[in-house]
Amino acid sequence: MISRRRDPATSYAPRPGAAALSCEGIQCSYGQVQVLFDAGLVVNEGEMVALLGPNGVGKSTLLKVLAGLLKPDAGSVHIGGVDVTAAPTRERIARGLGQVVGQATFSSMTVTENLRMHAYSIEDRAWAQEAVDAALSVFPRLRARQDQPASTLSGGERQMLALSKAIVQDPRVLVVDEFSLGLAPVVVGGLLELVRRLNERGTAVLLVEQSVNVALSLVDRAYFMEKGQIVACETSAELSADPDRVRELMLGGHVAVAQ
């Protein structure tokens, strides 16, 4: 694993005691259709938090607002206590936001070129190379395919590349949107294990995950969304002890919850 080398003296340093990532009062629409209504959450430094809820309630939309990929109609987003509501994605990344959203890659570029692209903002070039090597060492499958165009990777390999890109950036807070979709459970398990290890090293994590049980086995707290609003926030310990409450929050079992 790479060691953290963010310079606390830079202008991108977080405010002391501030949450790693937070948002409040987020309203967001696609055209005339409003999808998020006053949504807010907090991910504290070093914490691992899940965002759960049935399909189509707005989880991915909220993650896109946090990443700066969608502009909210109202509300604010803070990274390390600094208001980034109007900031572009690249500034949010510089402030410590890493994101694994979908399987986005530069498809005509090779695996290594994709990773170098994400290391371009690291001023220390030796460390940038070290970061790329470290990311490849985590996934031997990717190292074996390092000169292959990203477009030729399998779904699981693309998720590995997406996570590797986040590792290269060495984020303060990592936002992960659904590894589970279309991937073998063993691959998802490996990716989530890596996210857990990143969290142990101090990276705060906000995780959207289809399997409630998997999420609750990893996170400290979970937020639940319903129709574009956060309707509950409870600790994993509380939720694990009350499966009926979890089923109720997941609105009639849209998502698998083990008995």
Tokens of 44: 């504290």
59 binds ligand ATP (CB under 6 A): yes
The residue (of 114 and 180) whose beta carbon lies closer to ligand ATP is 180
Q: 61, 114, 159, 236: which one contacts ligand ATP (CB under 6 A)?
A: 61
Binding mask 166-185 toward ligand ATP (x if CB under 6 A, else -) reads --------------------
Amino acid at site 55: N
**According to CB under 6 A, which one of 17, 55, 147, 258 is a site residue for ligand ATP?**
55
- Of 53-61, 72-80, 158-166, 194-202: span binding ligand ATP (CB under 6 A): 53-61
Say how many C-beta atoms besides its own lie within 10 A of residue 147's C-beta: 9
Question: Comparing C-alpha atoms, which of 85, 80, 90, 138 is closest to residue 111?
Answer: 138
Q: Using CB under 6 A, which of the segments 52-60, 77-85, 108-116, 125-133 binds ligand ATP?
A: 52-60
Q: Give yes or no for residue 8 binding ligand ATP (CB under 6 A).
A: no
Name the token pair of 121: 């903002």
Is 211 near ligand ATP (CB under 6 A)?
no
DSSP 15: P
| Cβ neighbours around 100 below 10 Å, total | 27
* E-assigned strand segments in the chain: 21-30, 33-43, 48-52, 74-79, 82-83, 97-101, 173-177, 204-208, 221-226, 229-235
Q: Which stretch binds ligand ATP (CB under 6 A): 54-62, 126-134, 139-147, 156-164?
A: 54-62
Q: Which residues bind ligand ATP (CB under 6 A)?
A: 30, 35, 53, 55-61
